[in-house]
Amino acid sequence: MAEIVTVEEHVSGEAGPALAGVVGAIAEAARQIERRIRVAGLHDVYGAYGATNVQGEQQQKLDVFANDVMKAALVGLPQVAAIVSEEDDAPVVFERAGGEEPMFVAVFDPLDGSSNIDVNVNVGTIFGVHQVGTEGVQATFLHRGLRQVAAGYVVYGPSTVMVVTTGTGVSAFTLNEDGVFVRSGEAMTMPDKGPYYSTNEANVASWPVVYREYLARLVGEGLDGQRYSARYIGSLVADFHRTLLKGGVFLYPPTEKAPKGKLRLLYEANPLAMIAEQAGGAAVNGPERILGLTPEHIHQRTALILGSRCEVEALQTAVLEWRA
């Protein structure tokens, strides 16, 4: 019989109990979010909340619930110095006395893809964890993605799966019937090349020409003779999870309306980029590596292209040649 290892035990073994406590708190929040999603139609949590977040996006009822649950799970941990959420205008800094344990800042999108809830499409939670250094908590909010000490996401679907990295590979944990995230995959690797591309093709006309040419190449002659099929769900976590397992590329290029991109660097692009790289893939904003970007503010947006190394590097090369 296979050894049963929980996500908390796994992270503790890789990175120590302090970081395991942070990831464990996020796992507990995910359990609560999963339970609410599972019975959403019975508890009047479908639909809009009636407010907009700092992004100017209409909040869904489940956005607010998920955000409150994540904050409640993390506020009680002495090793968490602050949190940054997509749904909050500013970071939430906790008054901590400090001690011998390392201190962390958790950043998260509590419910990615929430507009899909009403039609029962997969949604997710994305998170990253940064360790507070000698420069202090405020500086930690603008760390590059390279400095993340952990990253992960939860996809709420036919089964609920949490994917985590602490910088030594990628592992998956499936929520079992007892409400425990149990390890179901280790040393996960993304195929070097995949058969799928994932993007909102309704935006193609507003992309820079180099991205339009790249997409035309994928569906035309392909890369190295391989042509590509479209797969697009419209929930970032779900689209990335498929790309992690099956290979290929996810694209959210800049557009005329959003010339710097639309996805958030700190708590969407950086965590997924860390997972992609740890699994052997790659992530860029077009010309540059995502994890090397320095955020200017906590809600900074970015273009995002991530997936198998073959497809991402082909796009990056094309963009660099186009800009030269």
- Place 128 in a pLDDT band, splitting at 50, 70 and 90: very high
What mean pLDDT do residues 255-273 have? 97
Please list the alpha-helical segments (H only) found in the chain.
Answer: 7-15, 17-38, 61-75, 137-140, 209-219, 236-246, 270-278, 309-323
- Place 39 in a pLDDT band, splitting at 50, 70 and 90: confident
Q: What are phi and psi of 313, to 5 degrees?
A: -65, -35
CATH 3.40.190.80 in the chain is located at 196-323
How does 97-106 read in b/e, with b if 16+ C-beta sit within 10 Å?
A: eeeeebbbbb
pLDDT tops 60 at residue 51: no
* Residue 171 contacts residue 164 (beta carbons within 8 Å): yes
What mean pLDDT do residues 291-306 have? 98
pLDDT tens digits, one per residue of 191-221: 999 999 999 999 999 999 999 999 999 999 9
How many helices (H) and strands (E) the chain has is answered by 8, 17
What mean pLDDT do residues 18-40 have? 94
- The number of angstroms, rounded, from the C-alpha of 303 to the middle of its chain's C-alpha atoms is 14
Contacts of 264 (CB under 8 A, 6+ apart): 55, 86, 109, 299, 300, 301, 302
CATH 3.30.540.10 in the chain is located at 7-185
What mean pLDDT do residues 80-87 have? 96
Token digits of residue 315: 């796009």
pLDDT above 70 covers a percentage of the chain that reads 92
Contacts of 216 (CB under 8 A, 6+ apart): none
Please give the pLDDT value at position 49: 46
Integer CA distances (angstroms), 208 to 260, 289, 318, in order: 11, 19, 12
- Place 225 in a pLDDT band, splitting at 50, 70 and 90: confident
Which residue type sits at 213?
E
What mean pLDDT do residues 170-192 have? 97
Regarding the domain delimited by 7-185, which CATH topology (the fold level of the hierarchy) does it fall under?
Fructose-1,6-Bisphosphatase; Chain A, domain 1 (3.30.540)
What mean pLDDT do residues 305-319 have? 98
How many whole angstroms separate alpha carbon 68 and alpha carbon 85?
10
pLDDT above 90 covers a percentage of the chain that reads 84
Among 3-7, 42-46, 73-77, 88-92, whose mean pLDDT is lowest? 42-46
Regarding the domain delimited by 196-323, which CATH topology (the fold level of the hierarchy) does it fall under?
D-Maltodextrin-Binding Protein; domain 2 (3.40.190)
What mean pLDDT do residues 31-60 have? 66
- Helix, strand, coil shares of the chain, percent, nearest 5, are 40, 25, 35
Please give the pLDDT value at position 101: 78
> From the CB of residue 287, how many other CB atoms can be counted at a distance below 10 Å?
14
Of 304, 298, 301, 237, nearest to 92 by C-alpha is: 298
Among 97-106, 172-181, 194-203, whose mean pLDDT is lowest? 97-106
Q: What is the mean pLDDT of the chain?
A: 92
* Residue 175 contacts residue 181 (beta carbons within 8 Å): yes
- Provide the whole-model pTM: 0.94
Which residue type sits at 140?
T
- Place 2 in a pLDDT band, splitting at 50, 70 and 90: low
